[in-house]
Structure 1
Amino acid sequence: MTPASILVVVPTTGGPVVLRSLRSRPGLPASAAFATGDYRPLPWSGDYARLAASGGPLSHLAAGDAGREAGPYELRLSGSFDAGRSWEVPVCLAHGLVARGHSLTADPEAADLVLWATGAVDLDLAVLPGDYALLDKLARSRDLLAAAARADLAVLLPDGPEAAEAARAFRALGRARPPAILPAADVPAALAALARPAPSPAPAAGRRPALPVALVALLAATALAAGYTVLRARPEADRPVVAVTASIPAEPGPTVAPAPEAAGSAAVVEELAAPAGSSCRRVAFGADPPVRRPVPAEAPGRLRASRLAPDLCGLAFRSAVPGARVAVGPELAAAALPPTGLPDGAQAYFLREGARRNLVYTVQVMTDPTAANAAGTGDRLVHGLVP
């Protein structure tokens, strides 16, 4: 793929955000993300710093990138959002493209290629499947895509309930060239597809020469057949309800007094509900802030069960003990999207639409930082979700 000017879109349920610049900034103590014209790091900048840190997920892109500049990095965007992790895939792709000699542009008319991508990644840069509100994000991106009508379009759609339908919707946009649907397994695979050389037909009059990525669209049928699956929960009768103590370390949050309803507990558990006129999809992807409702205790070591009402979007957890860590049982983690940090340091677990089911899990407060991987330390609470 010859050097190109690329418009990288971070689609959100509040509208598309564009990456304006990405550069090495040795004077920063750590990599940071900023909105254009602002010196204050964005709310999720700490997560970006961990993503780009030495030994972090982005270090997997360093091999073979002779032009890769050393961090820390300064990332500039046209705007921001307060929650969610779906910015991770487009930001990782931008790092890989810039390291390969491409440049970012915020001008739709100047773009050779528009890259529309969403999703969270794991430590190995695998794209995490889930419900990323793809159709809603596409609907809010239509004006921007129309403004870049002359550019080629590449799309990464994580595996999930709307992936196949979103791929069809992108192909139905009526662009001069069909969009390229990139492999959704991991970031390196998507970058390899973008770089794959292929012959291009002669350009039409008044149009830029086609980029090699345009021909990746030929892979779309294979990608859909192999990768796009609808995530469905197993029938409830096939799911045992068990309580298991997990020891998954989370970042320590600020010192917070426990809610009155849960007095005496080292953990604060809150329901995250959709505000009036909103929806759990909008809340989970950062378009609207959740309503936070403390979950009271009903007995020593047990919280009152939360009902799976339509407005219950998820649960938040934080420690009331300085320096303690909170671990959430795997039953809840398996039924939720990857955890998201809230402004007060709490970890939010938003329920997947296809996994709203009766379950019981435990919350473990790890009071001994040196024993963060040992079960049985600290305070344990049992909590359930019921119809």
Structure 2
Amino acid sequence: MKPVSILVVVPTTGGPVVLRSLKRRPGLPASAAFAAGDYRPLPWSGDYARLAAAGGPLSRLAGEVSEPYELRLSGSFDAGRSWEVPVCLAHGLLARGHSLTADPEAADLVLWATGAVDLDLAVLPGDYALLDKLARSRDLLAAAARADLAVLLPDGPETAEAARALRDLGRARAPVILPAASVPAALAVLARPAPYPAPAAGRRPALVAALVALLAATALAAGFAMLRARPEAERPVAAAATPAPVEPGTAIAPTPDPVAGGAVVEELAAPAGSTCRRVAFGADPPVRRPVPSESSGRLRASRLAPDLCGLAFRATLPGARVTVGPELAAAALPPTRLPDGAQAYFLREGARRNLVYTVQVMTGSADADPGAAKPSGTVDRFVHGLVR
């Protein structure tokens, strides 16, 4: 497949988000996701860092990932994992020499894909609100009416109806439904070498005809095992680190007592039969164990046992902010939020060493209520260690 210009759409229930750019950024400590024009990583950027980390799911794609990437989107959302499939496909297409565009009128191909992935890049089946997402994407797809359209619809209760809705869009060329078993299976259709003539004046390359011819060669995807999981729904928000909402029925660990300054610190451990790698990549939920106080200003040290995957921090007073020392941050992956809003730091496999770090809790601000339990601008500090 000769290089083409591709518009990658990340559909959400609040409207489509467009992938604006994806490029290597060696200066970043880890891969990160941003909204266009903003320097602050998006709330789920830590999940993207784990997806693109050495040994992570994206490493299953040939040539990915040797150094950090900067991912920029036209907007964001505060929950869900269905951005994973389109982002993985974008990485695979970029590695094969294709370019990305954010302009619907400049696109040769529109890639509309949704879904979460497992450690082997298999697409997880579930209820992805496909019909709602398609309805909210109609204006964007209409703006790219001249482009070919390729779609990945994960297995779920609306898959067949969504495929029918796509055929009813009335496009000049019928959309191609990509195999939904795995990211590599979809890339086998999108990226296999094929003769695509350069577009002449007033003429578009016939991508769909070639893609359809390749569909018969994608039965190899059946070998991928799929984890059964239902992703969370997405909602568009500004690029701010707000606590993630908790889905109805989600199991939340009992709230431990604050250890100091209105903060809770917990060990994140791998459950029986699992591993820290599975926990860090979201395949299994961690077991959460409160870290108790040992003395004034000091927590009991945590042992670097094989099942200790990381640590979580959460403020228990309104408006309080918790920060951790650089010693822990350097030994951990970029932080991510747990369902109750706690910040989780998963330890890097090669950085499990003895260390002592400081936890700081700011419990007020210049405009805090003078009658609050803590005076304005109060800072509490305490130390915690990791030992063998």
| TM-score by shorter chain over 0.5 | yes
* Aligned twin of 1:4: 4
Task: Give me the whole-angstrom Cα distance separating, in 2, the residues matched to 1:372 and 1:109.
Answer: 53
Give the distance between the partners of 1:183 and 1:90, measured in 2 at CA. 13
CA distance in 2, matches of 1:79, 1:30: 21
Contact 1:180–1:217 (8 Å) recurs in 2: yes
Structure 2 CA distance, aligned partners of 1:172 and 1:15? Answer: 20
1:209 aligns with 2:205: yes
Question: Residue 147 in 1 paired to residue 143 in 2?
Answer: yes
Q: Are residues 314 and 73 of structure 1, via their aligned partners in 2, closer, same or farther at CA, if it must alter by over 3 Å? A: same
Task: Check the 8 A contact 1:327/1:366 in 2, yes or no.
Answer: no
> What is the TM-score of this pair, normalised by structure 2?
0.61
Measured on the aligned residues, the alpha-carbon RMSD in Å equals 3.7
Distance 1:314 1:323, change over 3 A: closer
Seen in structure 2, the aligned counterparts of structure 1 residues 139 and 214 have a Cα distance that, compared at 3 Å, is farther
Task: Report how many residues are paired.
Answer: 272
**1-structure distance, mates of 2:181, 2:160:** 15
1:110 aligned to which of 106, 111, 117: 106
Superposed CA deviations along residues 82-136 of structure 1, whole A, max 9, x for unmatched, are 1100000000000000010001000000000000000000111111110000000
Q: Equivalent residue of 1:75, what SS? A: strand
Contact 1:36 1:78 in 2 (8 A): yes
- Cα deviation, residue 196, structure 1: 3.3
For the Cα contact (< 8 Å) 2:57–2:121, is it kept in 1? Answer: yes
Secondary structure, aligned partner of 1:6: strand
Letter in 2 for 1:210: A
* Deviation per residue, 1:126-185 (Å, 9 max, x gap): 111100000000000000000000000000011111111111111111111111111111
Q: Secondary structure at the match of 2:77?
A: coil
Q: TM-score, normalised to structure 1's length? A: 0.61
The 3-state SS of whatever aligns with 1:325 is: strand
In structure 2, runs of 5+ residues without a counterpart are: 223-227, 238-242, 257-263, 274-280, 291-301, 309-388
Map of 1:306 onto structure 2: none
Within 5 Å, which residues of 2 pair with 1:1-387? 1-61=1-61, 63=62, 65=63, 70-197=66-193, 206-211=202-207, 213-217=208-212, 284-286=233-235, 312=248, 314-317=250-253, 320=256, 322-325=265-268, 364-366=287-289, 370-371=304-305, 373=307
- Cα offset, 1:210, TM superposition: 1.4
Distance 1:152 1:286, change over 3 A: same
Amino acid at match of 1:99: A
Identity %: 72
Q: 1:113·1:154 contact (CA, 8 Å) conserved in 2?
A: yes
Contact kept, 8 Å, 1:132 with 1:285, in 2: the verdict is no
Give 3-state SS (helix, strand or coil) of 2:70's partner: strand
Which ranges in structure 1 are unaligned for 5 or more consecutive residues? 228-232, 234-279, 293-310, 331-337, 342-346, 348-362, 375-387
The aligned amino acid for 2:17 is V
Offset, 1:47: 0.3
